[in-house]
Amino acid sequence: MARMAQVAERVTERAPATGYEAVIGLEVHAQLLTESKMFCACSARYAGAEPNTLVCPICLGMPGVLPVINQKAVEYTILTALALNCEIPEYSKFDRKNYNYPDLMKGYQISQYDLPLSRNGWLEIPDPTDPEKTRRIGITRVHLEEDTANLKHVRSETGETYSLMDVNRSGVPLMEIVGEPDLRSPEEAGAYLRALRAILRYIGVSTGNMEEGAFRCDANVSLRPRGSSTYGVKVEVKNMNSFRAVERALAYEIERQRALLERGERIVQETRGWVEEKGITQSQRSKEEAHDYRYFPEPDLPPLFIDRAWVEQIRARLPELPEPKRRRFMAEYGLSPDDAATLVSSRTLADFFEQAVRLSGNARAVANWMLRDVRRLLNSSGIEIEQSKLRPEHLAALIALIDSGQLSVRSGPQVLEEVFRTGTAPEQVMREQGLAQVSDTAELEAVIDRVLADPRNAKALADYHGGKQTALGYFVGAVMKETRGKANPALVNQLLRQKLGG
């Protein structure tokens, strides 16, 4: 049974739905890193704050108050839209989206409907089936709205259920990025989300943290016969709290719809929630149409005229974005698509890499250290490169110590770990821990003489003289062991040959 389940999972995640093609579009909500909320002066940095302490009559939804637009939030949304190659219309406005849910203080959310801040963009992602290629995914629009309050559903020990409400999140600027239904597999959806989050982080508008709810994703998924250009009935999937969850939920949903279609059954247009523990999607409610929200222009806010000069000022601030940077890293440093993707995954990591390469002149060595040992240290300590004590000059110095034979390749990781932890210069760590490689000829010769004279090595010695050249490796190993790995292997090799040959 367990084996069956495993096989089933592999099938749902790998095999394309036979005869059918998946059509996936993602809607991402990203909280903006502004100081204050969207329409009031309350702090938007609510993480760790006591519940209901960052509130005022506006974000509490009291009647008779007047919202004021946060200009920084508009600027961040335009910056994002430009990074996503969108058009920025000159005229934009806010609308009321009406619906009843306890987390919505006013009974409506201020959002944007027919005149968003931007539209018609695209995002380039690495093609999961061929990392040498890229795919262009359409961006329908990027618009601005406000976040809702946070509901926490509680079940007490006596089985009583109730909900707690924290209004701190209400009114936090929220950017919605609507993608075109251009994605064709769960893997592509994952690649899209990673690429999008990397951009938001590069331009500094959002933490992109999915676990903390700063970056949320809903997916629309439908199936259609391969070769068809019309769309099937779509299902909206919600409640996914990680990229992995999005990929799993989509794989499950594609398989569920395929099974229904193959049995000749109909797909119901609805919203389904991903249940992480069970690995399934469950029906939540039938999907609302836009007219259910009774959108109308927000009467308390003026329309926005977006000045062209301002847009150009914002555009001029765009840094080199992750995908162009990835391609440049491949061309300039000879990196593989995957290695380049890892190094550009954060702007600070990419900057660290380039700085270390400038100092050391050895891109291959810097890349190897960063992709293997530095990455392992970052993962195990759960921090980002900028939070570590490691600096580009440390990595360059470490590589120089190894290149010059002062430090063995074997001891490198141990030195790196200490530098990473304490910020001490590699050379000092090497000296303090007694890891300097022994390149003193006289010292090594004494060890070699001892090893060759050891009766336990007599057989290997006879083998060598009998013509078995591989016995040399045995002696190198024995000398390394004697010196606890600190002997310079090249020098040991050379000295051994002299002794044995002479």
Residues that bind Zn ion (CB under 5 A): 40, 42, 56, 58-59
Q: Measure the CA–CA gap between 492 and 245, rounded to whole angstroms.
A: 53
Token reading at 467: 């013509």
- 443: phi > 0 → left, psi -120 to 50 → alpha, else beta; which? alpha
> Would you call 312 helix, strand, or coil by DSSP?
helix
Beta carbon of residue 168, minimum distance to Zn ion (angstroms, whole number): 9
Considering the complex, state which of residue 41 and residue 490 has its C-beta at the smaller distance from Zn ion: 41
Considering the complex, state which of residue 24 and residue 172 has its C-beta at the smaller distance from Zn ion: 172
Write the DSSP symbol of residue 87: B
Considering the complex, state which of residue 168 and residue 222 has its C-beta at the smaller distance from Zn ion: 168
Considering the complex, state which of residue 147 and residue 188 has its C-beta at the smaller distance from Zn ion: 147
Q: Measure the CA–CA gap between 200 and 177, rounded to whole angstroms.
A: 11
Q: Measure the CA–CA gap between 308 and 324, rounded to whole angstroms.
A: 26
Token reading at 8: 């089933």
**CA-to-CA dists, residue 31 to 44, 327, 408, angstroms:** 9, 29, 47
Considering the complex, state which of residue 43 and residue 345 has its C-beta at the smaller distance from Zn ion: 43
Beta carbon of residue 77, minimum distance to Zn ion (angstroms, whole number): 20
Considering the complex, state which of residue 32 and residue 444 has its C-beta at the smaller distance from Zn ion: 32
Q: Are 55 and 229 in contact (CB under 8 A)?
A: no
Beta carbon of residue 296, minimum distance to Zn ion (angstroms, whole number): 23
Token reading at 186: 């769960």
Token reading at 458: 């007599």
Beta carbon of residue 170, minimum distance to Zn ion (angstroms, whole number): 8
Beta carbon of residue 65, minimum distance to Zn ion (angstroms, whole number): 9
Which residue type is seen at 135? Answer: R
Considering the complex, state which of residue 59 and residue 79 has its C-beta at the smaller distance from Zn ion: 59
Cβ neighbour number for residue 49 with a 10 Å cutoff:
13
Beta carbon of residue 232, minimum distance to Zn ion (angstroms, whole number): 43
Beta carbon of residue 216, minimum distance to Zn ion (angstroms, whole number): 21
- 338: phi > 0 → left, psi -120 to 50 → alpha, else beta; which? alpha
